[in-house]
Amino acid sequence: MSVEIIYFVHGTTYDNASSKCSGWKQVELNELGKEQAKKLGKSTNYQFDALFTSDLIRAIDSAEIAWPEYEKIVDERLRECNYGDYDGEDKKLVVYEEHIDHPFPNGESLKDVEKRIAEFLEYLKENYDGKIVGIVAHRAPQLAIEVLTKYISWEEAIQKDWRKTKAWQPGWKYRIE
């Protein structure tokens, strides 16, 4: 059997609009982000057996606005990468290619994110076999899922990231077996 994942990213935040990276910092959605979440909920017909979010308010609020009818399961393993000293600073400081194996100053590496996402995916396999699971979270966890489900390198995942290719879509599908 398997678990189908439909992955969504949170709406635009005040930090996003100011070209800042948030990392583990709690940052609220701005008005555009709230509108994006409303449109996402109205434009998707997914039926989830469970809906997970990270424990950061921007993901929780995006999920609540998009799908108020679902109970949200908050899981800290779905948090964005901890950018450490760069949390809340200019987003140009966050160069993923430089932090695959080496942590951000006083933060995490992308391999650290991969480890916690791998644990989360194992949890899903053990508890949601044959189910459809929605996830509302962040960039690094999504890239970790790309690495883990498509068996690609971090370099390839970063290069093909929809944020670089400008190929946003209302949900990305993954399957874990």
Q: How many CB atoms lie within 10 A of CB 172?
A: 16
β-pair type (132-137, 3-9): parallel
Cβ atoms of 19 and 48 within 8 Å: the answer is no
- Active-site residue, selected from the candidate residues 10, 89, 99, 108: 10
How many residues are recorded in the chain? 177
Count CB atoms within 10 A of the CB of residue 149.
16
Could you say which of 64, 71, 80, 119 is catalytic?
80
Is residue 119 flagged as an active site residue?
Answer: no
Backbone phi and psi for residue 127, each to the nearest 5 degrees, phi listed first = -120, -10
10 is catalytic: yes
Active site residues: 10, 80
